[in-house]
Structure formats: structure tokens, C-alpha cells
Structure 1
């Protein structure tokens, strides 16, 4: 993917912006003072990881970042409840772009694209990088697949396709996140619905739920369960497995044939308490400093100037990527999630 090589200049742009604001008078000076107010970040990403991002931002810009962690759908519901008096400035991460797409018409996302992404095409190499009206921007790339414990499952035996997961031999040995709370699992559900059609997809999930021993709310919990031997197989993103592997746990990852490969975005919140601070944090997420932290946590950075530690590359997974019907997602996201609750909770 030929991402534009503009990300490395973001830090200098931010510095220049700060200098200009400091030199200005009247309204600009007031704006500069408001930028010292804390930034509130809502994120379902790993708490330790988001804390590291927040601390790096605070180190660079001397501005406090308060991180609130919860599952994607929980955070979306919270933002909807707070719509008349928003508490968040930035929403980062949601198991990929589908929850952001579904939120576009809810009136909770503001229009903002950092300068570093201004020249990006909306879609490149079949992967949507940003919203066409500026409601979100991708900051990294995720691959949905299967974690497994090599002490319990051999590489040869590990599932290679989504159909493999419903084999009766995995009964009681699989975990995946709860689609009512997790963006990771919502992506899994919507992908199957788009590819199979709803009737066949519900039949598929009847069997998958039968094989599950747990459906935790957190997107990363199933992979952690695999590491602890509480499950043989887990549905999750690539970086979740490699984080555990780096910690010395017995976890490996399979990129299944035909699976979602998509950006994980960030968005400015409409009428958030600190919009200028929120914009600065959005800019920061596309800077080399933030992209390097993502890479060090085994995420696939969207910047082509930063090299990730993960063995999975965008180039290596392109052939497995499925095309996502974003319009269908926007029309059916809430209905499908509600039906999941009725069927399985």
C-alpha cells in the first residue's frame, strides 16, 4: 500500500502551530490557553498501550490525557447518552472502522482529518483509509483471525478458515468476544452476514456459539484465555496474539483464508469539551512518535516510515482480505447487533 510519506512531518507542524498560537493575540491567545486543558480519550484498546500513548503525548506537549477504557459498543452507547453534553474529545479504536461507519449518522463524530492524511485517497488498494466526509481517519491496520495455543493445538491442526471453527471437535474449546460489547466481534458477525447472507450466517453462529466456552465483553480477553490454557482457539486481531507471544506466552496466530483486513480509526467528538486538544491528539496519533508505539505493541502502523515488530505485514495479507460492503453495514449494524442479543444473551 502506497501510503503518503507525510507522517514524519507532523511533529514539526504541531510545533510550528504552537509557536504561531503563542505569538498571536486576542482569540488565538485564549485558544492557546484552552489547549492546556486535559484531553479525554475514549478507547477500547489495551489499557497499558493507550496509557503509553497518553504518557508520550503528555511528555511531548505538557497536556494531560485522561483515558477511559471500555468495550467499543459500550463506549458508543456512552457517547450517545452524552450527546447533549459530550465528555470525550477523541474516540480511538473500535475493532476497525465498522463501528465508526455506523456512528457517522448518530451525530457524535466531528469532521476532522489531520494534515498528515489530507492527501490520502479515501480508499487505497481496496482498503478504506478515511471517511469521505472527514468523520474518521485510520491510524493503523488490523487483521482478524485466530489465536491458538501451540501446547494444546498443533500448527497443522489449527483452524485455517472460518468454517473450521464450527467443527464439533472444538466444542467447549473456543472463545470469541461478545458482539453486543466488542467491536472485534461485531466485525466478525457483520463479515459473515455480508458473505453468507443473513439466514446462513445465523445458522453458522448457532454452531459457533455451541462451540464457545465463553464470550467475554473485551476484544482481547479470548486471546488472553488462550495464553492461559482456558481456551484452545480464540477469535481476535493479529496484534493481540503477538503481544502475548512477546510476553513469553504460548500463543500463535493464523490469518484465515478470506478475512477482514481494515484500518482502526480515530475520530474527533462533536462538541467535545476540548476540540483543539482533541485535534492535536489526532495529529499525534499519525506522528512517528505514536506510530512507533503502535509498532512496538505489534500493531501494523499505517505509516510507511515506521516498521512494526509483527510478523504479519499488509503485503502478506492482501490476498486474504475480503471486501466490506460499508453501505450495508451502515444500514444494518444496529439491527444485527440487537438480533444477536435476542438470540444469544
Structure 2
């Protein structure tokens, strides 16, 4: 059995460290994925390799702050489930490794120096609880969410704790004209939203009927629908972007060989099919036929995608997070 550790709102210096790695059959994974995916993957990985996994689970922003605090003496081996923006910003913390699955992963979804490799592609979408809000009465676009009638009815994740939430906000700034005009509309949107600490709280809130709407990731819709929840995915008519999540080997971690085994495992074709069938996460691999797999995910060619300056927003992430913090405070 693996033991799951969760990081909450606790000062990083007071966090309990993972159990010390004792032998070659141990792996400490800092993960921003929810327990459903963690349980599936870590159980299968242990069964296949005999390597015991100790997950340390938290939002992606919290995970990366912990890695930064531990960089002189890393306690983890793998970081998994964080955005390309966070991976790129923190690549000095990672050790290069060329995955065996590199050829099946398009170059745009992996670091040129093999410091990280993408696993999932998450489309930024609107989730709607059709029991609380009939399908025909919901928003069709991001712009529709600015209507004051949605005040307090839209769940969203704090961008300080979520790479995908950061991507959503900055994408909308650009989509809504950039500069002061874009930020003004983002401020109007925040006035309608409930800002939660973790991404999982957003789709749980929509799935359980606490909120009629949520801004979240594509996979959450079919995942909750498969469990019987009245949740549908709205692909905004004014466009969206695909936010990549990936995996990286932590530089100087105690179990580097096991970390490399995990990187190869998590991007293998059969494993990506298993993950999609169970959790509906869109793979970065380009050799899976989505039409033959569960979830009904549309091909990217059927979704309106907008240009998103991920590199530019990554470079000014720290300053932008301060701006977002101010916008949230002003909207309360």
C-alpha cells in the first residue's frame, strides 16, 4: 500500500518530509493530480515494477514552492501533473532524461534539453451542472460569464495554486483586448467567481451541485458524467487553449533511477490508454485514436483554439501573480 500525503496551508518549513528512501524500491512523487488518477497510476506502477510510491499531493503552485525550498537537499524524486509554464519556470530544479517515448510526443510538448516531457493536454473549458442549470440556459462563451446574473455561481481555482488557472486568466486578458481593457474584464469576471484553493474543489463543487458553473479542465466533465453526475463540458465559442501538464525528474533526488523508470512508464502508449479510459485525460502522444476511446473527446480540429503567449506569460509569472492577487482583492 502506498501512503498519501497532502500539503495544506502550512508554512513550508514546517512540512513533514517524506519517509526517507530506504532502498531501490522506493519513489517519492510530488503530484498535483487528484486522488483518482494517483491511485490508478501508482497502484499499477507498483504492480508492474515492485517500486513503492509515496505521493505528496498539493496544488501545482504549492508543489513547486516546496521544490524550491528543498533544492539544496531534495526529498522528492518526481514532480508530476504541473503545467508547462511551471515546468519551464523551474527547470533549473530538474535533471535531464530522454524518455523512451520521446518520439511519440510532439516537440512542442517536451523540453528541448529533455528536462521535462508532457503527458496530458487539458483544454480550458466551462463545466455546467445541468440539474442546477438546464443545458440550454448555460453560457456559450467566456464573455457570457461576465453577466452579473452569474455572481457567486462560478467556481474557479486560485491561480497562485494552479498552473491551469493562471493560464486561464492570462489567456482571457489577451482574448479580451490585453492591457487595461483585458484586465478590467478579468476583474469583472472575478466579481462573479468563488475562488477556491484547489482545482479538484472546482469540479467537485460543480459535480456535487454546490455551483452551477465552474472554470476547469476538460477531463472533469466526462469523468463526473461517467459517475452519473449531471455535468456537461462547454467549449467556449470565443475560443480556448490547450494547457499541457508534464513530468520531470527532480535534480539530486534520492531515487533517480526509479524516477527515470516512472517517466518512461507514465508516457507509454498502453498506460496513456489506461489513463484516458479511466480518467478521460487527453494525451500528448500523437498516436492514440480518440474516436475509438471512451469520453467522446472531440479532436482538436473541432475546437476553436486561440493563440496563447505561454512563453511570454511564463517569463512574467511572478509579477502577473501579484497583479492577479490585487485583482482578486479588488473584486471582493
What range describes the TM-score normalised by the shorter chain of this pair? 0.7 to 0.9
- 2:296 matches 1:290: no
Distance in 2 (alpha carbons) for counterparts of 1:341 and 1:334: 11
- 2:200 matches 1:220: yes
State the 1:279 CA deviation: 0.6
State the 1:121 CA deviation: 4.3
2:12 alignment counterpart: none
State the 1:208 CA deviation: 1.2
State the 1:316 CA deviation: 4.6
State the 1:244 CA deviation: 1.0
Distance in 2 (alpha carbons) for counterparts of 1:223 and 1:249: 11
1:327 alignment counterpart: 311
State the 1:255 CA deviation: 1.0
Distance in 1 (alpha carbons) for counterparts of 2:235 and 2:288: 24
State the 1:234 CA deviation: 0.2
1:248 alignment counterpart: 228
Unaligned runs of 5+ in 2: 1-21
1:272 alignment counterpart: 253
Q: How many residues align?
A: 303
Q: Which moved more, 1:50-59 or 1:329-338?
A: 329-338
State the secondary structure of the residue aligned to 1:42.
Answer: strand
> In the alignment, which of 24, 32, 41 is matched to residue 44 of structure 1?
32
Map 1:113-262 → 2, pairs under 5 A: 113-118=98-103, 120-122=105-107, 128-195=108-175, 196-212=177-193, 214-257=194-237, 258-262=239-243
> In the alignment, which of 298, 320, 330 is matched to residue 336 of structure 1?
320
Give yes or no for contact 2:105–2:284 (8 Å, CA) kept in 1. Answer: no
Give yes or no for contact 2:164–2:243 (8 Å, CA) kept in 1. Answer: no
Distance in 2 (alpha carbons) for counterparts of 1:332 and 1:193: 14
Q: Deviations over 1:3-27 (max 9, x none)?
A: xxxxxxxxxxxxxxxxxxxxxxxxx
Give me the CA root mean square deviation.
Answer: 2.1
Distance in 2 (alpha carbons) for counterparts of 1:199 and 1:48: 40
Q: Structure 2 length normalisation: TM-score?
A: 0.85
2:282 alignment counterpart: 300
Tell me: CA distance 1:36–1:59, structure 2 relative to 1, closer, same or farther (3 Å).
same
State the secondary structure of the residue aligned to 2:145.
Answer: helix
Q: Deviations over 1:196-234 (max 9, x none)?
A: 32322321222111112x211111211211122211110
State the 1:119 CA deviation: 6.5
Structure exhibiting the larger radius of gyration computed from Cα positions: 1
Q: Structure 1 length normalisation: TM-score?
A: 0.82
Give yes or no for contact 1:35–1:277 (8 Å, CA) kept in 2. Answer: no
